[in-house]
Amino acid sequence: MLRLKVGFLLAAFAIVPIAAKANSCPESYAALARAPVHQRGEALVSATYGRLEELKAGRLPGIEIEVIGTSDGFPIQLVRVRSPNPKAARVFVSSGVHGDEPEGVTTGMALLENTIRSRRYDLTYVPMMNPGGLKAETRANLAKLDINRSFDPGVGTEAAEALKKAMRGRNFEVAVDLHGASQKTQFFLISAKEEGARADEILKNVPEALLLPSSTGTYPGYAPGLNDPKKYRMLFPGSAISNNGGTLKDFLAAYAPRSYTLEYPGAVDFSLQQEWNYRILNSILETAEK
Ligand SMILES: [Zn+2]
């Protein structure tokens, strides 16, 4: 079984020889980007749980993994990677709240691997907020509830309630919830609060062709029934602000002065998705160091 999990891991992240120790990490994201595997559903969930089990068994110093609750009967895990640098930025990342957006999970897991190696950040990461949905490749959980609209009081899902409980007493410089927009061909960052300067800095190295246009000032080509275009305002290319109630990003704004949703474009080449999703995520976290 362990070998099977290791096999899945290798397929997902293409990182280490088969004989490598359980605590091995990828050399760099470049290695991931050269051999991307478009993994989803059962295989993605197995690979992610498998890697977290390996990390738990590896007992590396400064790494803690806890189960904070369940969703559809599957555990929701939270990983903390501490940095020996007391000035390291405290960052929170979550992924997989929408089960049909698997590249958020592979991007977040790449960040986890690289942070274990570099200890650049004090990272708190929840890889799979919706494991049932990820297995079934559905936006909602298996009870057909959109977890990313369930953070307002009285609306709760078990996943939202688990995270609310786990976040008590924590605080961060920045929080990022990783998403994907299946119909889109450009990236965009959604801020919980207006902070154009920082978004400008985060996106400055991204080619404009890869950023969602802002010329009309509104959110273009929204998915009918899923998002209200009036709730999104485009500030400049790739940068939006929203007040879409009950989202994880809005919940996280109470724990970090800057809170973002990062959306990868699901309609472009997978390698491009992964490479730039990772780069933009890193740019967000770098701004937390300043
Ligand atoms: Zn999403």
CA of 200 to the centre of ligand 1 (A): 22
Number of H helices and E strands in the chain, helices first, is: 9, 9
Strands 74-81 and 63-71: antiparallel
CA of 261 to the centre of ligand 1 (A): 9
Is-above-0.85 flag for pTM?
yes
CA of 87 to the centre of ligand 1 (A): 32
Residue with tokens 């879409």: 244
Kindly calculate the radius of gyration of the chain based on its CA atoms and give it in whole angstroms: 18
DSSP string, 237-263: TTEEEE--TT-HHHHHTTTSSEEEEEE
CA 103 – CA 111 distance, rounded (Å): 12
CA of 43 to the centre of ligand 1 (A): 20
Q: If you average pLDDT over every residue of the chain, what do you get?
A: 85
CA of 220 to the centre of ligand 1 (A): 16
Chain segment 56-80, per-residue pLDDT in tens: 999 999 999 999 999 999 999 999 9
Chain segment 85-142, per-residue pLDDT in tens: 999 999 999 999 999 999 999 999 999 999 999 999 999 999 999 999 999 999 999 9
Strand order from edge to edge, sheet including 258-265 = 63-71, 74-81, 122-126, 90-95, 174-181, 258-265, 188-191, 239-242, 232-236
Angle between helices 41-58 and 2-13 (to 10 degrees): 110
CA 276 – CA 25 distance, rounded (Å): 21
